[in-house]
């Protein structure tokens, strides 16, 4: 759940475009490390720009994001590894919860500024996404298992293999080839490659 603009818009287009939408949890920290990338906000001028841009994008995509410079620094300093392992475990056991869970994590992290590395917050997110307390607890217990850790590593390596260097990364399998698109502002281009019409951020 590193970029909800992409997540939300692709969900809006799921039934408009002829696509089979699949969420693949990958660990951003791992992608950055493997590709030698650094968070854009580490460059102060780019950080300033991104803050302004986030506000514009929130309005354009109609996604509730509230961000101050302090929030930005906090987000950079919070690891999403635990949350991504939780989402991975869910993907392996109950994939039908993947979408609501991803949305909820994103809202808590970016809109409500919660520390999603804490188990109690992860359980609160799961409850909000419609999971039972029993299922949430069972999933939380899975996150330290080698199976889950390895699965997340595999998905992350797969993203890098497709050319990802950050998030959001969308891979469109079209015409027998994978096409990588980076950034939420590339969805119009994605549409043109797969022969679908872009109808704006909120298609009616």
Helix (H, G, I), strand (E, B) or coil at 174: strand
Using one digit for the tens of pLDDT, what is the confidence trace for 83-119?
999 999 999 999 999 999 998 888 887 777 778 888 9
Element containing residue 59 per DSSP (H, E): helix 44-61
Query: What sign for the dihedral angle of Cα 142, 147, 150, 155?
Result: negative
Residue with tokens 């998030």: 167
Kindly report, residue by residue over 47-76, the tens digit of the pLDDT. Answer: 889 889 988 999 999 988 877 777 777 777
Tracing tokens 């392992």 back to the chain, one arrives at 85
pTM for the whole structure: 0.89
Domains and CATH numbers, the chain: 1-194 (3.40.30.10)
Residue holding tokens 């959001």? 168
CA distance 53 to 61: 12
Closest CA to 75 of 44, 46, 108: 108
């Amino acid at each position: 759940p590193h970029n909800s603009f992409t997540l939300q818009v692709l969900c809006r287009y799921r039934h408009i475009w002829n696509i089979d939408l699949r969420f693949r949890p990958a660990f951003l920290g791992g992608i950055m490390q493997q590709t030698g990338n650094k968070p854009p906000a580490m460059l102060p001028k780019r950080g300033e720009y991104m803050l302004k841009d986030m506000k514009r994008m929130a309005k354009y995509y109609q996604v509730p994001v509230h961000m101050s410079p302090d929030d930005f620094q906090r987000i950079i300093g919070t690891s999403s590894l635990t949350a991504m392992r939780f989402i991975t475990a869910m993907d392996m056991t109950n994939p039908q919860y993947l979408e609501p869970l991803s949305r909820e994590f994103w809202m808590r992290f970016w809109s409500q500024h919660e520390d999603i590395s804490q188990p109690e917050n992860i359980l609160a997110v799961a409850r909000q996404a419609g999971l039972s307390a029993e299922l949430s607890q069972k999933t939380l217990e899975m996150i330290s298992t080698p199976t889950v850790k390895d699965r997340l590593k595999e998905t992350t390596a797969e993203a890098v293999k497709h050319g990802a260097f950050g998030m959001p990364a969308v891979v469109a399998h079209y015409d027998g080839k994978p096409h990588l698109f980076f950034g939420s502002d590339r969805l119009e281009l994605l549409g043109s490659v797969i022969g679908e019409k872009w109808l704006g951020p909120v298609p009616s």
